Amino acid sequence: MRSLRKTLLLAVVVSVVVVLALLHSWPTRGYPTVDVWQRRGPLLSDRSLEDKLAESDHQLSSIPIRVRESVASLLSRNSCICEGDSGGLNLPFSQLLFPRVSAHSLHTAFKPSELEELKRRRAQEYQSFLKRSQTPADVLIIAEANNPLQFPTQGVEVRPLKTIIIPGLALHDSPRERYTVNFTVALGTLSVAAEVDGVRVKGDGENHMTITSLALNSLNRQLQFVTYTNTLFHPSTADTVQFETDRHQASFVIKIRHSTTPKLYNTGSKQGYNVSALVTIATKTFLRYDKLQDLIDSVRRFYPTVTIVIADDSEQPKSISGPFIEHYIMPFEKGWFAGRNLAVSQVTTKYVLWVDDDFIFTANTKLEKLVDVLEKTTLDLVGGAVREATGYTATYRQTISIEPGEEEGDCLHVRRGFHHAIEGFPNCVVTDGVINFFLARTDKVQQVGFDPRLARVAHLEFFIDGLGSLHVGSCDDVIVNHATKIRLPWVSQSESDKTYAKFRYPSASSDATQTKDRLLYFKNRFQCLTRN
């Protein structure tokens, strides 16, 4: 009896150990490895169709054409050229009435000796970036004509590792003895959610599946239940489905991605616009506490409870007191865009209003108007107007476009002006860049960000970084005053003004321009900036 008990005990101990060992190794079994290396994988493409196209191209290329310059000249060149306007009239006010375009090659910001290495490194970083951002959903796919296959060309999506029914599949073939279609995918498996009599399915649960039937209607009934399951995880990619039948094929893409999670703000009750609940004012200050206090006092006359966020990189920061004021101290001279990025990173309201620390609010600074624009339109940011002491009011509207380049980089084109007026808002237009007085959706501004590598003078770089994601507007009927910068000879400059000027307008001001140019060259991969 005793030895039996011993044996039993031993058996139990051994099984427990085995079970624990199994459980310990469990998580790694059955989890295939995934290759996330930055290698260029084969992008499935419809080779036979490309061949067909090349063939027909060959037939057609013998037919003569007459090029229409007016249209052909609008197409992008292979690589952009860095050139502005040459010559032109040199009349007085000509720059004002007919602003000439100047072109600036950005590689000149670097020493010639370092340029070679820099270009190589930039190309390398750019290749990595492309591998991380491109997917099969961007590839050109052309549907062949007279294809008996019916299939979805757009709009098919599955969340990572989930399953969907592929919609819209069918075969509309001429009568034949037997009908066969097959599917091939790369990042998942195929199956059917329901079975139909008289239809044979081969490869169920694999990445290649064939469906056969003698009756076309039965085949098409089966095709209403083909499923795709993503099995190779990636948070944002696409799988290409090769769909084939005898002598014909089609390619289409299934996007594999999470839905975009919204970032909504609770705006409180909707009777009128409660500016304090909707808007936070953000600004950066440096050595100009007097001007900053003037700004705060002027804001408080109209908006006594709106939160003001202040990023401060002064050398000996003073305390700024008052309710609804958030004061952030930064390392001395950390910089302009670093301060802007800090300030907006702290905003918890739906909208953020950017102001410079030397603005003055007046009765014309009706923030409710700007809120109205963003509440009612799809704009993400709307600029106002800044009035100088002279009465001159600026909106600084800029349109921005990028012309693709090749190895040298792209060309950045900036022009004064705007695209369209906005229906329903007669004082407002759509543009790409505005003056430093604007209201914007907080989540969009935080997403674009102000690059902390820009320490001194910078402005447009924010709008360049926002190109494509910010929908920008500008209204000229919401005006803020600018505390004068004009140095009146009979007014002595305050000490803080003098120190400020030393930093803001350094004698080596070309340093700031060089930093900006270097950043445009490397970070954004531009070769050229043209502007008027």
User: What residues from 296 to 315 belong to the interface with a copy of itself (CB under 8 A)?
Assistant: none
For residue 498, the minimal CB distance to a copy of itself (Å) is 27
Which position has the token pair 């070769």? Answer: 527
326-345: contacts with a copy of itself (CB under 8 A) = 326-331, 334, 338, 341-342, 344-345
18, 43, 51, 155: which one contacts a copy of itself (CB under 8 A)? 155
Q: Give the binding range for a copy of itself (CB under 8 A) out of 6-14, 384-392, 416-424, 500-508.
A: 416-424
- Separation of alpha carbons 269 and 278, rounded Å: 11
Single residue of 180, 446, 499, 514 touching a copy of itself by CB under 8 A: 446
- CA dist., res. 25 & res. 142, Å (int): 47
Taking CB under 8 A as the criterion, the residue among 176, 202, 318, 376 binding a copy of itself is 376
Neighbouring residues of 302: CB distance < 8 A, sequence distance ≥ 6 = 361, 363, 365
Residue 146 makes contact with a copy of itself by CB under 8 A? yes
List the one residue from 370, 464, 475, 529 that touches a copy of itself (CB under 8 A). Answer: 464
Q: Which of 28, 90, 316, 507 binds a copy of itself (CB under 8 A)?
A: 28
CB closer to a copy of itself out of 358 and 369: 369
Name the segment binding a copy of itself (CB under 8 A); options: 82-90, 177-185, 321-329, 495-503.
321-329
Q: Residues 525, 527, 529, 530: which binds a copy of itself (CB under 8 A)? A: 525
Taking the alpha carbons of 57, 63, 69, 70 in that order, is the dihedral positive or negative?
negative
DSSP per position, 269-302: --SS--HHHHEEEEEEESS-HHHHHHHHHHHHHH
Q: Is 485 in the site for a copy of itself (CB under 8 A)?
A: no
Q: Which is nearer to a copy of itself, 57 or 177 (CB)?
A: 57
Write the interaction track for a copy of itself spanning residues 100-119; mark x where CB under 8 A is met and - where it is not: ------------------x-
Q: What are the tokens at 86?
A: 């040459």
Is 105 or 524 the residue whose CB approaches a copy of itself more closely? 524
* Total count of residues recorded for the chain: 532
The structure tokens 């604007």 sit at 438
Q: Does 234 bind a copy of itself (CB under 8 A)?
A: yes
Checking phi first, is residue 322 left (phi over 0); if not, alpha (psi -120 to 50) or beta?
left
75 binds a copy of itself per the rule CB under 8 A: yes
Rounded Cα–Cα distance for residues 254 and 168 (Å): 13
* Residue 292 vs 360, nearer CB to a copy of itself: 292
For residue 230, count other CB atoms closer than 10 A to its CB. Answer: 22
CA 280 to chain centre: 24
Residues 413/405, Cβ–Cβ less than 8 Å:
no
What's the rounded Cα separation, in Å, for the pair 218 and 221?
Answer: 5
Q: Rule CB under 8 A: choose which of 48, 94, 102, 469 binds a copy of itself.
A: 469
C-alpha to C-alpha distance for 63 and 71, rounded to whole angstroms: 20
Nearer to a copy of itself (CB atom), residue 62 or residue 507? 62
Does position 447 interact with a copy of itself (CB under 8 A)? The reply is yes
Of the listed pieces 355-363, 462-470, 476-484, 492-500, which binds a copy of itself according to CB under 8 A? 462-470
Provide the minimum distance between the beta carbon of 353 and a copy of itself in the complex, in angstroms, as a whole number.
16
Alpha-carbon span 121 to 344, nearest angstrom = 32
Fill in the per-residue mask, 390 to 409: x = in contact with a copy of itself (CB under 8 A), - = not in contact. -----------xx-x-----
Q: In the numeric block, which tokens belong to residue 369?
A: 């108007």
Q: Closest CB to a copy of itself among 157 and 290?
A: 157
**4, 25, 32, 89: which one binds a copy of itself (CB under 8 A):** 32
Least separation in angstroms between residue 149's CB and a copy of itself is 6
CB of 516 to a copy of itself, least distance (A): 14
Per CB under 8 A, the segment of 138-146, 177-185, 297-305, 503-511 that binds a copy of itself is 138-146
Q: Give dist(CA 141, CA 161) in Å, integer.
A: 25
- Contact region for a copy of itself (CB under 8 A) — 180-188, 285-293, 374-382, 486-494? 374-382
Q: Is 140 in the site for a copy of itself (CB under 8 A)?
A: yes
> Do residues 313 and 331 lie in contact, with contact meaning Cβ atoms separated by under 8 Å?
yes
Give the residue with the Cβ less far from a copy of itself, 112 or 489: 112
Rounded CA Rg of the chain: 32
Q: DSSP letter for 270, please.
A: -
Interaction between residue 483 and a copy of itself (CB under 8 A) = no
Q: Please name the residues in contact with 154: beta carbons below 8 A apart, sequence gap of 6 or more.
A: 252
Say how many residues touch a copy of itself, by CB under 8 A: 158
Taking CB under 8 A as the criterion, which residues in 178-217 touch a copy of itself?
Answer: 191-197, 217
Cα–Cα distance measured from residue 230 to residue 247, given in angstroms and rounded to the nearest whole number? 28
CA distance 388 to 68: 48
| Amino acid sitting at position 209 | M
